[in-house]
Amino acid sequence: MKPQKSSINREEKPPAYSPRELDAIVEEATIDSYGFDEELGSWAVYLEDELVFPFPVRVIGKAVQAIGVEERDGVVKLKVKSSDKQYWIDLLDVEIVKRAGETNRNELLILAYRRWFSPDGNIPDYEE
């Protein structure tokens, strides 16, 4: 007898964090902040305090190290370091690097920021 194929798509993985977990971080980061500008400033301070640096991210497919964070130009940006230079990149534009099956606090914090910035999950594309 031939084994039956599973109807489960093994490529589909459940999200690592629930919306409730992400919303709890959003609430913690923006408590006592009113309006976009205050909340953005609160995020920058919160992430500076809570992220554990350095940590790996990818920018346009290139592996770099995140070494700092601050509010710049109306968004939160990561300071990243490659082998030959340092630069600032929008937190929405980095790919989180992690090992298979691994979850970590830095990833949770970044995903919560993204959820706050774009609650519907649609991260805006930027015109060049």
pTM of the entire predicted model: 0.79
Residue with tokens 């993204």: 114
- Extract the tokens encoding 49: 């305090």
Q: What is the pLDDT of residue 71?
A: 96
Distance in angstroms (rounded) separating the CA atoms of residues 92 and 63: 16
| Domain ranges across the chain | 19-117
Q: How far is CA 60 from CA 57, 89, 93, 97, in A?
A: 10, 11, 8, 12
pLDDT at residue 8, as a whole number: 41
Q: Which residues pair with 90 in a beta bridge?
A: 77
Helix (H) and strand (E) counts in the chain = 3, 5
The dihedral formed by the CA atoms of 31, 124, 14 and 57, expressed in degrees to the nearest 10:
-80
List average pLDDT for each run of 10 residues in the chain, which is 128 residues long. 43 69 96 94 97 93 95 95 93 85 83 88 47
Distance in angstroms (rounded) separating the CA atoms of residues 9 and 121: 23
Per-residue confidence (pLDDT) for residue 13, from 0 to 100: 52
Q: With contact defined as beta carbons under 8 Å apart, do 29 and 46 qualify?
A: yes
